[in-house]
Amino acid sequence: MRSVPVAWCFVAPALLVIVVFFFVPVVAALALSLTDFDIYALADGRNLRVVGLGNYAQLLQTPLFWRAFGNTLYFVAVGVPLTIAVSFGTALLLHSRLVRFQAFFRTALFAPVVTTLVAVAVIWRYLYNPHYGLLNYALGRIGLPPVDWLGDPRWAMPAIILFAVWKNFGYNMIIILTGLQSIPEPLYEAARIDGASTWRQFRHVTLPMLAPIVAMVNVLTVAGYFQLFAEPYVMTQGGPLQSTVSVLYFMYEEGFKWWNLGSASAVAFLLFVFIFAVTVLQLRLARWEYAP
């Protein structure tokens, strides 16, 4: 094999970027979260004080932080199962042998995933318009009263969830569809020879074969949904009555609106630790459930 320096020439540029602009900042975020770095320290480093776990203690006593945490949990707890259910349903439809124009439908259902989040959030804000929006018009046509989707604190988060399902379900759909296509046909043949109905084939062949993929999709979606930010930023600015302030939205305002950068780092770290814990928990559960 080749001499050492040549290999380093290839790998060093990328490693340097990742270390300087990712690893160092991550470590620095932990350090920063233990200081009172604010707009005065931004102007002059001598105003910086180490406050230990002060930021964390302060956050846990801040009602808006808990509000943001609760809102984000709501978004994840309702949004993830809904998204995966729609992904799963559409993947099954696409996989059906009866489908015509499968490629067209797959592309159409996947399209929202590649669109620009901000742009489609602007569209949906308009769809949700209480006076001229298509959604209330459709509700009216089937005899339901109009809803002030983004103006009512009870409806704002469900509206954002509905939008997120529309935007994201195609991603999981493609992965689940690929999983469906990779289930060996002989398994179904064997089940049919044993006289299993379509439902029993689904229950005893499709579901168990697909379980690891659904578990993985679940982990990815949960981690992604905890990072809710642009949707409330564009559609509601966290309102009404702070009903759509997410953890990252809170972090953004804390850090880049009020310049409490120490506190913002603490928020980011808490979110990371929480996502990490939830991910580990899900992987444990998945292993326990699907262990051979």
Partner 1 sequence: MIPGLAAALVNGLLVGSAAITLLPLVWMLSVSLMSPGEASAFPPPLLPSRPTLANYRELFAHAGMGRYLLNSVVLTTAVTLGSLLFNVAGGYAFAKLRFAGRDRIFKVLLSALVIPAQVAMVPLFLLLKQLGLVNTYGGVIVPALASIFGMFVVRQYALSVPDDLLEAARIDGASELRIFRSVIVPVLRPIIVTLAVFTSLGTWNEFMWPLIVLNDSDLYTLPVALASLSREHVQDNELMMAGSVLTTAPVLLVFLGLQRYYIRGLMLGSIKE
Site for partner 1 in 9-48 (CB under 8 A): 9-11, 13-18, 20-26, 28-29, 32
C-beta of 87: minimal distance to partner 1 in Å? 11
Q: Which is nearer to partner 1, 182 or 241 (CB)?
A: 182
Place of tokens 């209480």: 130
Q: How many residues bind partner 1 (CB under 8 A)?
A: 91
Count the residues in the chain: 292
Which of 47-55, 73-81, 150-158, 165-173 is the region at the interface with partner 1 (rule: CB under 8 A)? Answer: 165-173
Q: List the one residue out of 157, 129, 136, 135 whose CA is nearest residue 228.
A: 157
Q: Is residue 119 at the binding interface for partner 1, with CB under 8 A as the rule? A: yes
Alpha-carbon dihedral sign for residues 241, 243, 244, 250: positive
Reading the block at residue 138, the tokens are 């459709």
Distance CA 24, CA 183 (A): 44
- Helix, strand or coil for residue 35? strand
Q: List the one residue out of 280, 290, 261 whose CA is nearest residue 47.
A: 261
C-beta of 8: minimal distance to partner 1 in Å? 6
Q: Which is nearer to partner 1, 97 or 186 (CB)?
A: 97
User: Residue 50: beta bridge partners?
Assistant: 35
Q: Is residue 124 at the binding interface for partner 1, with CB under 8 A as the rule? A: yes
Q: Is residue 219 at the binding interface for partner 1, with CB under 8 A as the rule? A: yes
Site for partner 1 in 253-292 (CB under 8 A): 255-256, 261, 264-265, 268-269, 271-272, 275-276, 279
C-beta of 91: minimal distance to partner 1 in Å? 11
Alpha-carbon dihedral sign for residues 166, 171, 172, 177: positive
Which of 76-84, 90-98, 189-197, 201-209 is the region at the interface with partner 1 (rule: CB under 8 A)? Answer: 90-98
